[in-house]
Structure 1
Amino acid sequence: MMYEQQRLPHVQHHHQQSLKKKTTSYSYDMNKRNSQVEEEERLHIVDLSGMSLDSLPYPSLNLASICKLDLSNNNLQNIPESLTARLLNVVVLDVRSNQLRSLPNSIGCLSRLKILNVSGNLIEYLPKTIENCRALEELNANFNKLSLLPDTIGFELINLKKLSVNSNKLVCLPRSTSYLTALRVLDARLNCLRGLPEDLENLGNLETLNVSQNFQYLDTLPYSIGLLLSLVELDVSYNKIKCLPDSIGCLKKLQKLRVEGNPMVSPPAEVVEQGVHSVKEYLCQKMNSRHTNQSPPKKKSSWVGKLVKYGTFGGGSSKQREEREGFIMHHYHRNRTVEGLASPRYTGMGMFSPRRLFSPRNSFTN
């Protein structure tokens, strides 16, 4: 009993100290939360849509306090650089249905921007600085005059979940598109696409892919489309596609497939009419049959020999090495170090991609 009485003051003191720490921590969390609430309360929505505006009354606006700016359905022909640069807290910017021919370079200052809608304008290109909007989750550039997208857009917009560029004049999608690893929806219908990037395997979260109505231009799909393991909807209708890649048979989550309007040979029409499950089964059987009947490669045709012959592993003549180095420097001139070429941005592309080297489509045979 005496021992317990001696220990009691110590226990009480320890409990008081612990309670004091918890109270201090709780007070700090509450102050932090209150400051965030106060900051959010200072931000507000500005809706100037449908007012037939030719210019913006931005000197009278507190631009830094805007979290959502709606300028849609007006007659704006340009957005001043100085205005965009001061929208430091904007999360949603809607400028659809205007007369814009370009976007300001200062759009790259919008570090908090998550949703950008520029559809229904006359925009011919997107500024490269848009890559600095790394918080961007949704980009809608439908119904413009885009003929290309920034080459490295996929390397920077790592949080982009939806990319809509339908009804433009796009001839191709940049190869960096395959690095939009967070992408869930890609809508590129009604363009002039000649093909899709070969390395699609990194788009592990892509659920919807629509490249329909590229009409006489799009005639093939990359074999890597079968590596889009999250794909639920695929629309390739109204193109010039004759054969679907066998790899589509591996898409276990695929539920909707549209292929009408193509001169389809494989799978045949009677299989297509039976639905997506019959199509997948047909392609899967075709793929298995092809690999089963494939004869083993001859020794002289081994892939190791081919790689050494063409200098891929550092072999080959000095002339071949010079040609290879010239090819690399031509395409990746901004990365003039070995480290640059070995970075994650480039090791998955083109001839640096192991999956492309060993895929059925790119196997080394005579």
Structure 2
Amino acid sequence: MLYEQQQLQNHMMMLDLRNKKADGSDSIEEEKHENVDLSSMSLDSLPNPSLNLATICKLDLSNNNLQSIPESLTARLLNVVVLDVHSNQLKSLPNSIGCLTKLKVLNAAGNLLASLPKTIENCRCLEELNANFNKLSMIPDTIGHELVNLKKLTVNSNKLMFLPHSISQLTSLTSLDARLNNLRSLPEDLENLINLQVLNVSQNFQYLETLPYSIGLLISLVELDLSYNRITSLPDSMGCLRKLQKLSVDGNPLVSPPMEVVEQGLHAVKEYLSEKMNASHQTSKKKSWVGKLVKYGTFNGSARNHHNTEEREGIIMSEYRSIDGLASPRYSGMFSPRRLFSPKNIFTR
């Protein structure tokens, strides 16, 4: 412990010296690219250094025992682009995180967060937000209206019952991982997620029973993991997901499409759903959705017209892959594939 504290003091002294150089013409740009690594030092708290924190571009405080981050310290990280606080004991993030207007990557995984501060919506340059392995029961309602540059949102292994409706406004989003939560439903209006390529809402177990019809308007979707939920019927609109290459549906009590269709592969599922929609769109609700599908150029009544024989398509029926980027070794065994599920078959075409 004394060694880690001495290491911290030495690091802070070096930074202090850099900022107190007599020659004011010394490369300010170089100082603004300072990377500070205080990870894995068994820190229980952070000092309030006299150095100019505005010189820090990347700050790594991960794998410590921090229970809080001082508001005053965060407010002075005016040029920080990457902030990594994963694997600590944080129960909250400081409200002053909203001052980090240049922040692009925030990793707060593996903590005890019950919520995210509303001020996070002011981090409008944010591109990656990782908050997995926490105790989140909600995400700020307005997050989708403000974080217009967000590309990757990872909130798996929390206690989320719903995702905010505004999440459908994240038009830059390419990856959304919300597995291992308590999700009851997904937002209805997903069609604005025009760049979403990967959607994982698996392992919400007994909670997630239905999917919104708008899932068929995710025109860029390549991978969709719905495994280990309570879904009995896939929306007919999913037959129009042209770019979809991987669909995981194992562990659901599926009735539509029936399992004999699912076992034939992804193309068979698409064709089944498309034909079902084409045959039953007489109701007013279905008519409105068919109109939208036609407008978005994903549906004209026949799955065969859209099948690209060179496109690799597949359905993953069983093998649960390990969780990417686990927050900390102390959590890594909680949901290991070997503990949860045994591998069966993978269907590809």
- Per the alignment, residue 172 of structure 2 pairs with 182
Distance 1:150 1:78 in 2: 20
Structure 1 CA distance for aligned equivalents of residues 233 and 252 of structure 2: 9
User: Partners in 1 of 2:119 and 2:87 — Cα distance?
Assistant: 22
Q: Rate the CA distance shift 1:181–1:357 in 2: closer, same or farther, 3 A.
A: farther
The residue type paired with residue 288 of structure 2 is F
Report 1:1-366 matches (<5 A): 39-291=29-281, 294=282, 358-359=288-289
Instruction: Report how many aligned residue pairs link the two structures.
Output: 267
CA shift, 1:61, in A, is 3.9
Alpha-carbon separation, structure 1, partners of 2:47 and 2:135: 28
The code of the aligned residue for 1:359 comes to W
> Is the Cα contact below 8 Å between 2:173 and 2:195 reproduced in 1?
yes
Higher RCO by CA contacts (8 Å cutoff, separation 6 or greater): 2
Q: Provide closer, same or farther for how the CA distance between residues 356 and 60 of structure 1 changes in structure 2, counting only shifts above 3 A.
A: farther
SS of corresponding position for 2:280: helix
Q: Give the whole-Å Cα distance in 2 for the aligned partners of 1:264 and 1:87.
A: 50
- Paired residue secondary structure (2:87): coil
Question: How many Å separate the matches in 2 of 1:42 and 1:167?
Answer: 35
- How far apart, CA to CA, are the structure 1 residues paired with 2:74 and 2:37? 16
Which ranges in structure 2 are unaligned for 5 or more consecutive residues?
1-24, 293-349
| Cα pair distance change 1:126/1:361, threshold 3 Å | farther
Higher helix share: 1
1:358 maps to amino acid = S
Q: Residues 133 and 42 (structure 1 numbering): CA distance in 2 closer, same or farther, change over 3 Å?
A: closer
Letter in 1 for 2:167: T
- Shift, 1:43, TM fit: 2.3
Native 8 Å contact 2:32 2:79 kept in 1: no
Change (3 A) 1:119 1:356: farther
Structure 1 residue 359 displacement after superposition: 2.8
In the TM superposition, what is the alpha-carbon distance from 1:62 to its structure 2 partner? 2.9
Identity %: 75
The AA in structure 2 aligned to 1:149 is: I
More displaced 10-residue stretch of structure 1: 271-280 or 216-225: 271-280
Q: Structure 1, residues 255-293: CA drift from partner, whole Å, max 9, x if none?
A: 0000000000001111111221111111111111213xx
> For each residue in 1:32-85, what CA deviation from the matched residue of structure 2 results, as whole angstroms up to 9, or x when unmatched?
xxx9x8524542100000000011134154311000000000000000000000
Q: TM-score, normalised by structure 2?
A: 0.73
Q: CA deviation at 1:358?
A: 2.9
Q: Which moved more, 1:267-276 or 1:197-206?
A: 267-276
CA RMSD of aligned residues (A): 2.1
For residues 240 and 274 of structure 2, the distance between their equivalents in structure 1, rounded to whole angstroms, comes to 7
Q: CA deviation at 1:217?
A: 0.4
For the residues of structure 1 that align with 2:32 and 2:230, how far apart are their CA atoms? Answer: 54
User: Does structure 1 conserve the Cα–Cα contact (< 8 Å) formed by 2:213 and 2:237?
Assistant: yes
Q: How far did residue 357 of structure 1 move?
A: 9.6
Bigger drift between 58-67 and 207-216 goes to 58-67
Contact in 1 for aligned 2:32/2:57 (Cα 8 Å):
no
Which amino acid letter does the alignment assign opposite residue 123 of structure 1?
L
Deviation at 1:360, TM superposition (A): 6.0
Structure 1 unaligned spans of 5+: 1-34, 298-354
Are the aligned partners of 1:226 and 1:248 in contact in 2 as well (CA < 8 Å)? yes
**3-state secondary structure, aligned to 1:359:** helix
Contact preservation (8 Å) 1:223, 1:361? no
Opposite residue 169 of structure 2, the aligned amino acid is Y
Secondary structure of the corresponding residue to residue 109 of structure 2 = coil
- Relative distance call for 1:357 and 1:168 in structure 2 (3 A) is farther
Q: Is the 8 A contact 2:67 2:91 kept in 1?
A: yes
Mapped to 1, the partners of 2:183 and 2:291 lie a distance apart of 21
* Equivalent AA in structure 1 for residue 38 of structure 2: L
